[in-house]
Amino acid sequence: MKNHEYHGCGNVGKWVGMLFGALGVATAFLMVYLMNGGWLIGLDPAIAVGLVVEIFAAAFLGERAGRYLCGKGNPLGRAMLVGVGVAFGSIAIAVYAGTIAGVVAHPSEFFGNSHIGVLNVLSVLFFPLFMVLFFGGIPAAVLGVVYGTLIHVRLQKLNPQ
């Protein structure tokens, strides 16, 4: 594995992952802006945490994807599938980080309520992820496929056969 890190495959995956993480944040902003302009009024700290974590999670998972795909002979389909995995994995990490930040930032709404039960805790933890994947699943899949294609091309240039 160290071999691939020094060769540059991990760096290619990391930087392309950061680029596509930023494109994902821009896509999310564009979708929210076109729906109702919510972010122009104010940005909740939990959402800001999620957006920052999105970029770092994409870089982290992109580096691992670059190392995984570094071997010669990896087909384009595998790179696309790994790209979709990086997209959805970084979204899941970002949503959970934002959810935890929201619970920490507004504890009175969550812990101060006597009507909070197990079902409410599960809905607080999983409903944001469901909604983000419901509305952002198609753009994430498209960005993941483009990421996989670009990383495949970049790694083919790095590892000529």
For 18-40, how does the pLDDT look when each residue is reduced to its tens digit (9 = 90+)?
A: 999 999 888 888 887 787 765 65
Confidence (pLDDT) at 72: 60
Average pLDDT of the residues of the chain: 83
Question: H-type helices in the chain, by residue range?
Answer: 2-7, 9-35, 38-41, 45-68, 76-105, 107-111, 118-158
Higher-scoring residue by pLDDT: 36, 132:
132
Tokens of 132: 């983000």
Q: Which of 9-23, 38-52, 71-85, 130-144 has the lowest mean pLDDT?
A: 38-52
Confidence (pLDDT) at 113: 65
What pTM value is reported for the model?
0.83
